[in-house]
Amino acid sequence: MRIILALFATATFAHAELTDEQRRVPLEQDSADPKVTKIVILAGSPSNKAGQHEYFAGCAMLADWLRKTPDVHPVLVADGWPRDERVFAGAKAVVVYADGGVKLPFLAPERWASMRALMLGGTGLVMLHQAVDVPEANAAEIKDWLGAAWTKDIGCRGHWDMEFTPTVKHASLQGVEPFAAPLDGWLYNLHFAEKGVTPLLTGAVPDKSRTTADAKANLGRAEVIGWAFDRPDGGRSFAFTGCDLHKNWQVESQRRFVVNGILWAAGRVVPATGAPVPMQPTDLARNLDAKPLPAPAK
């Protein structure tokens, strides 16, 4: 069995849409060590314009930061779903950073069944940015897993500056200072579970972004952008609807908030000063998708 796991850990897969640089990043490298906290990170396929929805690059950085915490083993997966689902075995959390709606990478019935089994087993769940957007047919179950679901009947979205001043006490906010995220993309006004949800980051949104009747009925209300969910089954879930703009990972408190949340969802004790999330300015240029650059402004 150890030989099989070792061979599996070093296996490489052909991902047609990956760049040469991305192909050098280790993918689906499992661990046979039962003592480590395994976290599977699902990076969505290329989407949107350069500098937005940089799922692979963002997930690669999340994996690097998670490795800074002792005994944490992140498993990076490309194209939204593993080529071999054995990487899920023993995972303490699954992170989904990918497109949502009909492009959510686990909507196929067999994949959905795999996710359901993980949730029933108490695996933590983290969903970032567009991933919280789910088809209405799947919304009720996602709400049971994540504590909330964005659907088009009441949900709103858009791009604007936001500022956050955390006021609640929660492990995901340890070491997180007030921060601003310039012109990022946000989703808000979700269907939330009645119990177990802790709003972590709330902020003002432009009232002109309130495009649904339900949202318009709450003009001026601070909206929930990030939350934690203590599931009735004992599992933990965490979500943040930002992370649209890749450059905003340079905001230390944003990346610490997300990494803290992942560790918390995986059942780890988050350091009092927050997770270590060192970053060099050049890191933002690593592992970007091959997407056309935006046209220069006229």
pLDDT at 18: 93
Domain extent listing, the chain: 2-285
pLDDT at 15: 56
pLDDT at 246: 97
pLDDT at 14: 47
Helices H / strands E in the chain, number of each:
7, 11
Q: How would you write the pLDDT of the chain (298 residues) with one tens digit per residue?
A: 333 333 333 333 445 589 999 999 999 999 989 899 999 999 999 999 999 999 999 999 999 999 999 999 999 999 999 999 999 999 999 999 999 999 999 999 999 999 999 999 999 999 999 999 999 999 999 999 999 999 999 999 999 999 999 999 999 999 999 999 999 999 999 999 999 999 999 999 999 999 999 999 999 999 999 999 999 999 999 999 999 999 999 999 999 999 999 999 999 999 999 999 999 989 999 999 998 766 665 5
HEC assignment per residue over 220-285: CCCEEEEEEEECCCCCEEEEECCCCEHHHHHCHHHHHHHHHHHHHHCCCCCCCCCCCCCCCHHHHH
Question: Whose CA is closest to 224, among 282, 182, 168, 279?
Answer: 168
pLDDT at 298: 58
Question: Whose CA is closest to 95, among 270, 285, 261, 293?
Answer: 261
User: Partners of 101 in the beta sheet?
Assistant: none
C-beta of residue 134 within 8 angstroms of C-beta of residue 150: yes
CATH H superfamily, domain 2-285: Class I glutamine amidotransferase (GATase) domain (3.40.50.880)
Phi, psi of 40 (to 5 degrees): -90, 125
Question: Whose CA is closest to 45, among 99, 119, 100?
Answer: 99
pLDDT at 17: 83
